[in-house]
Structure 1
Amino acid sequence: MNTATIRQYGRIARHFASTRAVEVLALQASPALGVFLGGWRLERDGLVAPALLAFGSCALTAHIFVFNDWAGHAGDLRDPLRAPHVFSGRGISRREVAGAALLLLVLAFVAFAAVGVPALLFGTAIAALGFLYSASPVLGKNTPVASSLNHLVGGTLHFLLGYTLAHALDARGVGIGLFFGLVFAAGHLNQEVRDYDGDRVNGIRTNAVAFGRRTAFVASLVTFTAAYAMLAALAAAGVLPRLLLWSPLAWLVHLAWSVQALRRGLDFATAEWMQRRYRWLFALVGLVMLTG
């Protein structure tokens, strides 16, 4: 490997770190909480397996984002908001991005294989969902409802990826995972509201494009409401800390913000404004989960 190649790989890494690193890291909260809620203990289980799982999860999540950028390259160039951040503007070719996506996937699979069979199976399923979302004309982002179901299942599996590190798959894990899946699906609906203009220009039939921004935003709120209800039910059943019985109060705050967002007008800035706020709410929920 010569110096020029090393520099090019460095350029690719810096570009995607600047555009995707925050999202990749934010999405690690779900499997991390899964590890904790699955009963992992340092003195019993050690650090090697969770470290490998964390590395694999980061690599897999990065792969999904990089592959999505590769698949949507032409459309991103037509989107005024995305065009300035497209990799080709940084002197990076689609072939190089495809190679980076493949490398990330291989690294993820190697890490998961070292962790164990459950991690490898869940990782494979998540990778398959990522491929379908970005590349499938029927089950991907171009198909309303199907794209939301993809995120619902993917979010659930991502939690279970961590949960099954130290715990067998069971109804408790699936129940908690479904909460994370609902949050993931609801957040993606809000993202579709944010990306409405660019998706419409590119003919991508997201829920927001197919049914309208307002309908997609309300669907996001309904899905978030289901997540809060699931959270309260899990707390009432003793699966999660009883302090989360107060989660309807967080829902009321979320509802108030949603009403405010509707009054502001559902554009890119408002969707991002909403995203920042509900992420803080669910970060608080995650901290409460850790107290249990």
Structure 2
Amino acid sequence: MTNRAHVLVTNDDGIDAPGLLALAHAACDRGFDVTVAAPHRQASGSAGGLSMFVVDEKIDITHRRLRGLPGVDAYAVSAHPGMIALAAVLGRFGSVPDLVLSGINEGSNLGSAVLHSGTAGAAMVAGAHGITALAASLHLDFELEGPAVSDPPRHWESAAEVVGAILPQLVEADPGSVFNLNVPNLPAADQRALVSAAWTLAGTAPTLLPFIADFDRRAATLPVAELVEPTIDIVEGSDIDKVRLGHPTLSLLQFSGDSSIDWVSQVRR
């Protein structure tokens, strides 16, 4: 496959999200033919949902231009990322993509949180239709070292650099493979080596806690005494374990079989 492979970039944080722009730049900088199609607004937690936001029986698809990417067609779509990914792999945004990149999400997608993520959902929809896909996320959920910072700066460039480094391997991967990347929110110079880690559904991932807390707050009719406080289960060697130690962590999203990625150790940034 040549480096002019067609890449569809999407996300669940919306068309104006800085992570989407960083991801599109990463693909363009590697010489790929890029199209961007993303929700017109925030769509986190939508999994692979096919919801559309219809007005007068139509969904709104607005052509946009992304900063620094004048030659890239970009579309704000009034639909969830799962629907956008499905439309893309069926050729609704130009030629069928060779690769779908989803993200870069503001917050990690680890463990059971992957089941609910619109970022991961779009990638899994693409994979289910035979298109290789990557869900990329910026890990903000653990303080690695030093004093806690309530709202740290986002190092989108760190995640984009890792994505750029693995793109050649992604386009050569088996069709339908779905990868999940989580990059610590650290400057590129402070990132540790990229590692492969098993994806596990065990426990509750940290990004689910705010959603659960919001449910508890709003579900006033439930007997509060019976609510169980969720915990974060960190399985040794899992994606949650590796990324919290400062490693950009790549996983295959599959329920069984060998999930190791043998080329990760050869990636150089």
TM bucket (normalised to shorter chain) is: 0.3 to 0.5
Please tell me whether Structure 1 or Structure 2 has the larger radius of gyration of its CA atoms: 1
Instruction: Please report the TM-score for the alignment, with normalisation by the length of structure 2.
Output: 0.34
Instruction: Please report the TM-score for the alignment, with normalisation by the length of structure 1.
Output: 0.32
